């Protein structure tokens, strides 16, 4: 029997709640359910006192780790407290809602205190780091623009300057963006002024105690390509974003300025403002002439009318309710939310604002229908398309809005209906999906969704083994959507899919900080494995690779891993309990980082086989097939 302590710091009251498991007795489910997340506002499922009596707790093996798992009477997980590094001490505390993990506290340095906090599924993507382990997030490793906006509003409302500073682009991050010296200095100056603007807004006392975040808005993000104003890297940015807030009984727009994506985390450049003040930040990146950008000149949301205020208030109450009710009640609430978004869109005086809200509506209905919490979502989108067709004909809306709705309806139908059918013939469904996507891109060649459609076509073709077809679609992305986010992936994918028989280049640093260059291993067969610690196939592949390394390592074979985890902590923890005798390359960014994008890696594991001359033999070989190819290559090298 495993002996394990299950501890969680309850920082709000400066004490520790400890549950112990002896050889004979496990902690009670009630004790485990009394543990609370370190970060506030986590809407984890909390059973009633009567329901707690029906809950169970036992030690289970999950993902290679031992964990205390608390389940309700239906067998759904409520809590999971795991020992990730097998040292007999709990270091990961996970909280669930509707059977899905929504939040996790992590003790990454294994000193008994949580130092990382992560949100999952419909709770968001945030990943916060707490270096001094005081329960407050010092910086964000991952955070979306919407979540940044919500954090800003809370920082202003609570007069928490440290919380706001954690959202700002740091000096070290600025140095990694590849900006020219003048650009970097300009951004640094804006970031420095942001704190002053924040302090000014707080001291003005214009935020009511009962204020809060309602919604997020802004023009779509853009990619500033390398070479613009002397930059050396592509830069993902958001200009003139804003948060709609509830300020007492009124709804107002809080201007947030510009944001930059730094290794997966969206960071602020400017301070928040309310009203038309001189502190409102102008655009930075979409402005080659140095004047006011088009995005900043456009009014990002008109002052709310009384009717808009009423709808926004209803929408906010509904959003709060949706996050707390059980899944069975969500379809009705999601339908109500869709109706409110549609009503709000029609109330907007400007076409650009109406279209922005309609896109948000399409995103919401599509996501909920795929999730299963809006069963009539596809019919809803069909009806909306028909309803808006007249407005498009009258010139009140652009045709692109209908195309946007159509694309999201198609996604909902494929992922939420076709693939959700347990009797689906996947091969036929996939073939039909690719056919539908090709028809879409032919019918709407200029659609803003075009790059995403082509990406799915390319990836689907690649998964079907149709590499030549995949290359055709990737090349079309490069031709028609060269400034899109998909273009970086497409460039690397074309390189990979056409690499057989050609020399391969791979340089980087190992997780231990050692330099690596594939050229140093000329004369040897090299196996390059792209992988993540969360890949379910990794264990089987590593077992095969270990056997190969034991047989041929040092005798003509070299293996190198390229890990694409977002955190090196996950890789280091894995290697501690699952040591691998070959080098592991690692860079920040995961699938958005250089090591992934330069070869267009979108799924793992993926193994590339390179011959002694440094040329690619296979750009996607299965682990079980390596030894046969290896013997051929080694025999050829001897002859």
Give the DSSP per-residue string, 539-556: HHHHHHHHHHHHHHBTTT
- pLDDT surpasses 70 at 293: no
User: What residues are paired with 83 via a beta bridge?
Assistant: 66
Task: Report pLDDT for 416.
Answer: 86
Higher pLDDT, 147 or 188: 147
pLDDT band for position 303 (cuts 50, 70, 90):
low
What mean pLDDT comes out for the span 51-62?
A: 90
Task: Report pLDDT for 112.
Answer: 86
Cβ atoms 380, 365 nearer than 8 A: yes
- pLDDT surpasses 60 at 429: yes
pTM of structure? 0.56
Task: Report pLDDT for 140.
Answer: 95
Cβ atoms 127, 115 nearer than 8 A: no
- pLDDT surpasses 70 at 100: yes
Convert the pLDDT of each residue in 123-138 to its tens digit: 999 999 998 899 999 9
- pLDDT surpasses 80 at 72: yes
What are the residues whose beta carbons fall under 8 Å from the beta carbon of 65, sequence distance 6 or more? 82, 83, 84, 86, 92
Output the CA–CA distances (angstroms, integers) from residue 484 to 35, 226, 477, 489, 511, in the order listed: 45, 13, 8, 10, 31
What is the SS3 assignment for 340?
helix
Residue 140 CA to residue 83 CA, distance in Å, equals 24
- pLDDT surpasses 60 at 99: yes
Task: Report pLDDT for 156.
Answer: 93
3-state helix, strand, coil in the chain (%, to 5): 45, 20, 35
* Lowest pLDDT segment from 150-154, 236-240, 514-518, 578-582: 236-240
Convert the pLDDT of each residue in 532-581 to its tens digit: 988 888 889 999 999 999 999 888 999 999 999 877 888 998 999 899 99
What mean pLDDT comes out for the span 23-49?
A: 85
- pLDDT surpasses 80 at 288: no
Of 566, 587, 563, nearest to 118 by C-alpha is: 566
- pLDDT surpasses 60 at 465: yes
Task: Report pLDDT for 385.
Answer: 93
Cβ atoms 104, 91 nearer than 8 A: no
* Alpha-helical regions (H) of 106-208: 145-157, 161-165, 171-176, 181-204
Higher pLDDT, 583 or 208: 583
For the chain, what is the mean pLDDT?
A: 85
What mean pLDDT comes out for the span 460-471?
A: 88
Convert the pLDDT of each residue in 206-217 to its tens digit: 877 767 888 888
Task: Report pLDDT for 21.
Answer: 36
Of 222, 251, 39, nearest to 147 by C-alpha is: 39
Length of the chain: 639
State the burial class of residue 392 (Cβ atoms within 10 Å of its Cβ: 0-12, 13-18, 19+). Answer: middle
Give the best-scoring range by mean pLDDT among 14-18, 72-76, 248-252.
72-76
Task: Report pLDDT for 68.
Answer: 92
């Amino acid at each position: 029997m495993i002996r394990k302590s299950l501890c969680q710091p309850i920082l709000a009251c400066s004490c520790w709640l400890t549950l112990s498991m002896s050889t004979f007795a496990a902690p009670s489910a009630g004790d485990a359910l009394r543990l609370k997340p370190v970060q506030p506002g986590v809407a984890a499922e909390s059973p009633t006192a009567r329901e707690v009596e029906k809950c169970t707790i036992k030690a289970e093996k999950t993902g290679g780790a031992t964990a205390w798992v608390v389940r309700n009477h239906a067998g759904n997980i409520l809590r999971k407290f795991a020992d990730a590094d097998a040292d007999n001490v709990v270091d990961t505390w996970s909280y669930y809602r509707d059977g899905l993990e929504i939040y996790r506290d992590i003790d990454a340095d294994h000193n008994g205190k949580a130092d990382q906090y992560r949100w999952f599924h419909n709770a968001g993507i945030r990943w916060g780091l707490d270096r001094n382990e005081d329960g407050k997030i010092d910086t964000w490793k991952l955070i979306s623009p919407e979540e940044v906006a919500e954090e800003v509003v809370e920082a202003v409302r609570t007069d928490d300057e440290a919380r706001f500073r954690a959202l700002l682009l740091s000096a070290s991050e600025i140095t990694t963006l590849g900006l020219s010296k003048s650009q970097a200095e300009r951004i640094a100056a804006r970031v420095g002024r942001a704190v002053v603007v924040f302090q000014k807004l707080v001291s003005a006392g214009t935020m009511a105690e009962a204020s809060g975040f309602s919604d997020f808005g802004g023009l779509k993000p853009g990619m500033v390509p390398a070479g613009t104003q002397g930059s050396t890297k592509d830069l993902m940015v958001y200009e003139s974003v804003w948060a709609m807030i509830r300020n007492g009984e009124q709804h107002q727009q809080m201007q947030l300025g510009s944001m930059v994506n730094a290794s997966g985390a969206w960071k602020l450049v400017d301070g928040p403002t309310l009203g038309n003040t001189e502190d409102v930040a102008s655009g930075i990146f979409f402005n080659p002439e140095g004047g006011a950008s088009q995005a900043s000149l456009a009014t990002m949301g008109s002052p709310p009318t009384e009717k808009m205020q009423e709808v926004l208030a209803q929408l906010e109450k509904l959003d709060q309710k949706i996050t707390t009710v059980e899944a069975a009640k969500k379809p009705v609430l999601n339908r109500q939310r869709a109706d409110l978004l549609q009503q709000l869109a029609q109330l907007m005086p400007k076409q650009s604002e109406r279209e922005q809200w309609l896109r948000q509506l399409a995103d919401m209905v599509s996501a909920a229908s795929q999730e299963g919490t809006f069963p009539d979502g596809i019919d809803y989108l069909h009806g909306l398309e028909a309803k808006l067709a007249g407005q498009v004909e009258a010139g009140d809306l652009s045709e692109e809005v209908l195309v946007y709705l159509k694309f999201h309806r198609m996604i909902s139908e494929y992922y939420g209906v076709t693939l959700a059918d347990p009797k689906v013939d996947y091969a036929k469904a996939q073939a039909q999906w690719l056919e539908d996507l090709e028809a879409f891109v032919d019918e709407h060649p200029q659609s803003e969704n075009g790059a995403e459609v082509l990406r799915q076509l390319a990836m689907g073709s690649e998964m079907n083994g149709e590499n030549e077809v995949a290359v055709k679609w990737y090349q079309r992305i490069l031709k028609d959507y060269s400034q899109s986010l998909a273009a970086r992936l497409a460039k690397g994918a074309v390189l990979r899919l056409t690499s057989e028989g050609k020399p391969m280049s791979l340089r980087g640093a190992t997780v231990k900080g050692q330099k690596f260059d594939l050229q140093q291993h000329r004369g040897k067969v090299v196996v390059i494995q792209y992988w993540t610690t969360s890949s379910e196939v990794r264990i089987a592949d590593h077992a095969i690779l270990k056997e190969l390394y034991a047989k041929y390592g040092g005798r003509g074979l070299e293996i190198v891993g390229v890990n694409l985890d977002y955190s090196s902590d996950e890789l280091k923890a894995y290697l501690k309990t699952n040591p691998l005798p070959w080098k592991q390359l690692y860079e920040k960014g995961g699938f958005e980082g250089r090591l992934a994008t330069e070869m267009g890696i979108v799924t793992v594991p993926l193994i590339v086989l390179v011959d002694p001359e440094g040329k690619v033999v296979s750009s996607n070989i299965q682990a079980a097939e390596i030894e046969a190819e290896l013997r051929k290559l080694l025999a050829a090298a001897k002859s």
